[in-house]
A and B are shown apart, each in its own frame.
Chain A
Amino acid sequence: MSKFFSALLALLIAGGAYAQERFPGIGRPATRAEVQAWDIDVRPDFQGLPRGKGTVAQGEEIWEAKCASCHGTFGEANHTFSPIVGGTTARDMETGRVANLRRQDYPQRTTFMKAPSVATLYDYIRRAMPWTNPKSLSDDEVYAVLAYMLNLADIVPAEFELNERTIRDVQNRMPNRNGMTTDHAMWPGRGFGTERNKPDTRGPACMTDCRLEARIASSLPDHARNAHGNLLLQNRVIGPVRGVPTAPGDFDFDDAETGPMLLARESGCLACHGVAQKIVGPGFAEVALRYRNQDVAEALAGRVRQGAQGVWGNVPMPPQPDLKDDEIRALVGWILAGAPEK
């Protein structure tokens, strides 16, 4: 057996179970600590829930410090996110259905009006909150914050301690715990026993004289016409259509190149000088770098006016008799400033 093959065989034996894999050398086993660090999900049936505890009072302190600025002191605020608390009743906690969800006129759907499982709230706070510093709360702090939220929603009393056992009782008081269904046709394949369901909406396949009249049931209100800015500027300047002007203003395509940049192009400077890089002569950025913090503006203006050779190589720069002195000064100042686009 060749050295190579014996080495390969040793590798396969050492690899044990991995020798059966299709793609040897791809991936490696995760350590227990790695899985623990990332596997933080908590399912509605509490699988994955860590042990811990926190009281309403402890939660209030954390809430005031880290949560209230977005969610409001009572979880009622809507200035940053949808409200968390509100719209649920004691009756809802008995039935597990939020009555206000049936009302067509109820203005807002809060977190507690929708959330069917308390474990989901634990999972989400732990993984994603606080907004600007997610995953910074300890497991106990998450219990405490959640206890405070449950108290705001009148689901637990003020002296309540939430822990890995009492959270199961809380589940039985969640106002919308019975408000969800998976009986629809929009889950692909198996999982919920719905694979034979048919789509619930279906259009007509009719081709001619399908309806007597096409009545317009809704059109864009006038006040919404320019709520998205000037639609003229949200379409092309060519093609079969143009945007409708819904606010003052027109396209300005020249703003990318004004002042010295335009002058440099029109004067032919850019034929030999790139802004960043050398073409025939040095790039403007290179010039700016070489003369950084040096008082060379007048000297450079002279070279532009009369031409020069040898500073950057043997290719001569021709004289520029057509440029006015103030134009040359503007160009040199701009080049020494790094040739900004505007």
Chain B
Amino acid sequence: METNDDLTARGALRPAPENFLTPSQIAEVSKGRRDFLRAAFAAAGAVAAAPAALAQGAGDPDILEPLPWATSLGKPVAALPYGQPSRYERGLQRRQSPGLTQTDAASVSFTPLQGTFGIVTPSGLHFERHHQGWYDIDPRRHRFMINGGAPGMIRTPKVFTLDDIMRLPSVSRFHFIECGANTGMEWGNAAVPTVQYTHGMLACSEFTGVPLRVLLEECGADFAKGKFVLAEGADGSSMTRTIPIDSVLSGEVLVAYGQNGEMLRPENGYPLRLVVPGVQGVSWVKWLRRCELGDKPYGTKDETIHYVDLLPDGTHRQYTSIQEVKSVITTPSGGQKLLARGFYTISGLAWSGRGRIRRVDVSTDGGRNWVQAQLQGPVMAKCLTRFSAPWVWRGETALLQARATDETGHVQPTYGRMREVRGTRSIYHNNSIQTWRVAASGEVDNVQVL
């Protein structure tokens, strides 16, 4: 049995000896030349009693040698008028899943959850789902109309410009948006390698806008007659979805123009999109041009042919909207490799379309035993919540899982439970517990535990 001290010591061994070698020395080592390495160790050993003295003979060249950024003039202000991430971050990009769709204009790109921190998704990494391509719409020519599906539903159908909408009192709120088909490729079996592809149709932003209820009231909406709202986009597909009236009346549905302090990105609906907290992304209609108040649901294409959940008996569930309680570990996750044994922070995201996350539990043995994770504040309703749990990896095979519980008491289900009820042929609303297998080599891959 190893003690914690031993483990810490082993973990601390990780940087050595590479950190005492220059890149060219490391290259020599990787070519198999280890003779000079022994000499380097001998030199280091000679001064082992005084580690600080290592720097006299051998040390980190990134400390000992002058570095370009410390010895030359940097770039001027506004060299990049709209800033960009470091070039060293280019691994983290939105990516498509090859073969998922046949045409890029009706497709998906996934958020690289394996590399994001906290709860906010950088707007440039927000996943995309377009039904008929995206446009960068001239906001001066964009109009938002409210009308009634039948006489008396809306007293005065109205047209609003962005000028109008942006003059109104606004609210800014943090919410997650998740595509109903997120994790859809995993219904039958483990199918894709990383959390970007298993869970990356997920993002979280601060949205700024006006409650749809305010605009409906401004038009004289009759909420005694109106039971459903149709939302419609201005793009080629003029995508339509039926919006729940109770979500509208609660004031949480927003006609939004702002995202993370700037305007919405074109790919996310610039200049206007609907925000329907807790509800799947398809209902957050982008390039929003019209809302209609009606007395019946609208049975649109994306409520009848797509975004319907196939059950084992051949029935489809229609108007499945709430994104139920779900979580996933993002570090470490599939397609990654742990650097060495020792201390790690298991970190991930939890969310629920029914409200706040109450707790998250983490297992390293495939769900046999669990420990409660820490939740990072603020914990907000219908918003991503970051959780973490300390973990010392001793080099054993591990099965990492997270399990979230929301404020309604709903606990995230296992794959086994999910398939008993909903089978394996659905596409939508898979909120099963994800498992990442850590091999003895430190490599992490995607597996399913029922």
Contacts of B446 in A (CB 8 A): 219-220
Q: Is the CB of B365 within 8 A of A214?
A: yes
Task: State whether B410 touches A199 (Cβ < 8 A).
Answer: yes
Cβ-defined contact, A217 with B338, below 8 A? no
- Check if B399 is an interface residue, CB within 8 A of chain A: yes
Find chain B residues with CB under 8 A from A241 CB: 331-332, 336-339, 444
Q: What is the bound-complex CA distance between A96 and B317, given in angstroms?
A: 16
Q: Which residues of A contact B228 (CB under 8 A)?
A: 191
Contact with B along A223-238 (1 / 0, CB 8 A): 0110111010111111
A181 within 8 A of B: yes
B19 to chain A, nearest CB (A): 14
Choice from B150, B155, B369 contacting A208 with Cβ under 8 Å: B369
Are A179 and B316 in touch, CB under 8 angstroms?
yes
Interface centre among A179, A185, A186, A231, by most B CB within 10 Å? A186
- Report yes or no: A243 in contact with B157, Cβ–Cβ below 8 A: no
B243-272 vs A, CB cutoff 8 Å, 1 = contact: the mask equals 011110000000000000000000000000
Binds B, one of A40-48, A285-293, A295-303, A317-325: A40-48
**Does A62 sit at the interface, judged by CB under 8 A?**
no
Known: A43-B296, A243-B91. A186 touches B411 (CB 8 A): no
Cβ–Cβ < 8 Å partners of B3 in chain A:
none
- Minimum CB–CB distance from A196 to chain B (whole Å) comes to 13
Q: With an 8 A cutoff between CB atoms, is B304 at the interface?
A: yes
Inter-subunit contact B156/A120 (CB<8 Å): no
Q: Quick one: given A227-B98, A236-B92, A251-B91, are A22 and B193 in contact (CB under 8 Å)?
A: no
CA distance A116 to B160 in the complex (A): 35
A123 contact set on B, CB distance < 8 A: 240, 300-301
Q: Would you give the shortest CB distance from B427 to chain A, in whole angstroms? A: 9
Q: Say yes or no: is B114 at the interface (Cβ < 8 Å to chain A).
A: yes
Q: How many A-B residue pairs have CB under 8 A?
A: 359
Pick the residue among A45, A101, A188, A239 that contacts B244 (CB under 8 A): A188
* Secondary structure type dominating chain A contacts: loop
- A134-B236, A214-B368, A256-B87 given; A23·B304 CB < 8 A: no
Is A234 touching B196 in the complex (CB atoms < 8 A)?
yes
Closest B residue, CB atoms, query A227? B98
- Digitize B290-310: 1 where CB-to-A-CB distance is under 8 Å, 0 elsewhere: 101010111111001100111
Task: Tally chain B residues at the interface, Cβ within 8 Å.
Answer: 140
Q: Which of A114, A128, A256 contacts B238 (CB 8 A)?
A: A128
| Cα(A214)–Cα(B316), bound, Å | 32
Stretch of B20-28, B29-37, B56-64, B320-328 with 4 or more beta carbons under 8 angstroms from chain A? B320-328
Closest to B249 in A: A189
Nearest chain B CB to A215 CB, angstrom units: 7
Is B192 on the interface with A (CB-CB < 8 A)?
yes
Whether a CB of chain A sits under 8 angstroms from the CB of B448 is: yes
Closest chain A residue to B418, Cβ basis: A201
Contact of A210 among B90, B334, B368 (CB under 8 A): B368
Q: Does B2 contact A (CB under 8 A)?
A: no
CB of B368 within 8 A of CB of A192, answer: no
A329 contacts partner chain B, Cβ-Cβ < 8 Å: no
Q: Are the C-beta atoms of A26 and B115 separated by less than 8 Å? A: no
The answer to whether B4 has its CB under 8 Å from any CB of chain A is no
- Shortest CB-to-CB span from B255 to chain A, Å, is 12
Partner of A220, one of B103, B191, B316: B191
CA distance A224 to B320 in the complex (A): 31
Q: Any chain B CB within 8 A of the CB of A6?
A: no
Residue contact A117 to B368, C-beta cutoff 8 Å? no
Max chain B C-beta neighbours (<10 A), residue from A41, A209, A239: A41
A241 to B93, CA, bound (A): 17
Residues of B with C-beta under 8 A to A22: 214, 217-218
Q: Let me know if A220 and B159 touch, CB within 8 A.
A: no
**Cα distance, A44 to B157, chains bound together (Å):** 23
Selected from A34, A38, A104, A234, the residue in CB contact (under 8 A) with B194 is A234
Q: Is A109 an interface position by the 8 A CB rule?
A: yes
Contact: B299 with A101, CB < 8 Å?
Answer: no
A97 to B314, CA, bound (A): 8
Other than A220-B193, A228-B194, give 16 A-B pairs with Cβ distance below 8 A. Answer: A27-B218, A28-B159, A29-B159, A101-B315, A186-B317, A203-B433, A216-B448, A219-B448, A224-B191, A227-B98, A234-B95, A235-B114, A240-B332, A241-B332, A242-B337, A271-B72
Jot down 8 A-B pairs with beta carbons below 8 A, ordered by A: A18-B156, A38-B147, A117-B299, A117-B304, A181-B318, A186-B429, A205-B411, A220-B192
- Counting from the closest, the 9 A-B pairs by CB-CB distance are A214-B366, A189-B246, A101-B314, A102-B314, A44-B299, A231-B335, A241-B336, A203-B411, A201-B413
